[in-house]
Amino acid sequence: MAPDLVLRRARIAGEEDRLVDIAISRGRFAAVGVVPEGDAPAEDLGGRLVVPGLVETHIHLDKSCLLDRCTCHKGTLEEAIASVTAAKRGFTEEDVYQRASRTLEKAIVQGTQQIRTHVEVDPRIGLTSLRALLQLKRDYAWAVDLQICVFPQEGLLDDPGCEEVMVAALEAGADVVGGAPYMDRDSHGQVARIFALAERFGVDIDFHLDFALDPTHLDLIEVCRMAETTGWSGRVAIGHVTKLSAVPGERLVELGARLAAAGVAVTSLPATDLFLTGRDHDHNVPRGVAPVHRLVEMGVTCSLSTNNVLNPFTPFGDCSLVRMSNLYANVAQVGTPAGMAVCLDMVSAMSARLLNLPDYGIREGAPADLVVLDCDSPAAAISEIAQPLIGLKGGRRTFTRPAAQLHRPEGGL
């Protein structure tokens, strides 16, 4: 049977030294290698890099696009939380859906096909934002797979009634449970409750964790211990972990080994962490970005993600994971081709492992999900912030972004 589509002269990330043809049939990859000429529609990729869809493991769609409603002066984490808490009082399902879909569409045209979005639930907002995102998940399934992680941004133990809302959210269809232990006086108490919810509902866990610069107390030690005692190794991620940017090299090696052994993954959120960290410094401002490329060397599964978009936590955002990866490489001083390839991995294959995605990858039989980047190697994708040109999800085209063209004058050079 002739394929539905053949992509010719592609380079697959990780094997980019050779050109391959990719045949797609009934929404899946039918062949990768040499595909004979035939009647099937074909597209010449001209040696461009193909990746199996970018993977965003940590974004907040529900509180994106809030800059017009929030006024901040200090730029601290506390101020951002307070400001969004106030804005949240005015959220409606329609409002959350509108802002989240605007952000999601930007992510889609940047080549993102898998997203874990964190959603705030508490006794005041209830399930309003969750309901909007469940609808969004259904409406955009043609372009992106959305995992919804519910979490108590304003605290769990110190916010009476919040756990009941979390339970209701998981019963209503949330995929993952999250936490922010730094918001409760008893951070280990919150960690224990989140693990209990994960066990009750059989879901993965994703914490906002160790989001400060004093590394003398690290909640990640407790999270590692709990992952091991509950058998949840490989199902726990922690995000920010900015305290890891403040530990000496030897201690980082010890902590990396601990995280790897416990099967706890780490997500760095460079845009937010660079924006919020060290606001009490007026010079030599600390960067506060967890050195995840070092943790990868120690066997830790790591990802780079966007986190916040156009809100007081991060007043920037084009939802480009390639740009985020470039930002990380720049601030973390990663300059080798191999190092940059790891940075691309942290927004693609390694992120997919963090999310425990089945069927990720360009190989025969897998769903035909891919993105064409305007470059010929993983290192070039990151160093040059290569533009995504084409996306296919289940073999169907989801976006097209024409490559830029120069219009030279007639007869000119």
Closer Cβ to Zn ion, 11 or 63, answer by number: 63
Q: How near is the Cβ of 358 to Zn ion at its closest, in Å? A: 25
Q: Residue holding tokens 């219009």?
A: 407
Half-sphere exposure of 190 (CA within 13 A, CB side): 30
Is there a contact between 118 and 178 (Cβ–Cβ < 8 Å)?
A: yes
Q: How near is the Cβ of 361 to Zn ion at its closest, in Å? A: 27
Q: How near is the Cβ of 387 to Zn ion at its closest, in Å? A: 26
- Classify residue 140 by its DSSP letter: T
Closer Cβ to Zn ion, 80 or 341, answer by number: 80
Q: How many residues bind Zn ion (CB under 5 A)?
A: 1
Q: How near is the Cβ of 165 to Zn ion at its closest, in Å? A: 19
The interface region with Zn ion, picked from 150-158, 213-221, 300-308, 379-387 by CB under 5 A, is: 300-308
Closer Cβ to Zn ion, 180 or 259, answer by number: 180
- As a whole number of angstroms, the distance between CA 293 and CA 43 comes to 35
Of positions 57, 303, 307, 326, contacts Zn ion by CB under 5 A: 307
Measure the CA dihedral 128/129/130/133, to 10°.
130
Q: How near is the Cβ of 188 to Zn ion at its closest, in Å? A: 20
The interface region with Zn ion, picked from 13-21, 95-103, 192-200, 307-315 by CB under 5 A, is: 307-315
Q: Which of 77, 95, 97, 93 is nearest to 85 (CA)?
A: 77
Q: How near is the Cβ of 39 to Zn ion at its closest, in Å? A: 49
* Residue closest to Zn ion (Cβ): 307
| 306 lies in the binding site for Zn ion (CB under 5 A) | no
| 57 lies in the binding site for Zn ion (CB under 5 A) | no
**Cα angle 30-31-33, degrees, rounded to a multiple of 5:** 165
Interface mask (CB under 5 A) for Zn ion, residues 367-396, using x and -?
Answer: ------------------------------
Please spell the DSSP secondary structure of 349-380, one letter per residue.
HHHHHHTT-TT-SSSTTSB--EEEESSSSHHH
Half-sphere exposure of 78 (CA within 13 A, CB side): 5
Q: Which residues bind Zn ion (CB under 5 A)?
A: 307
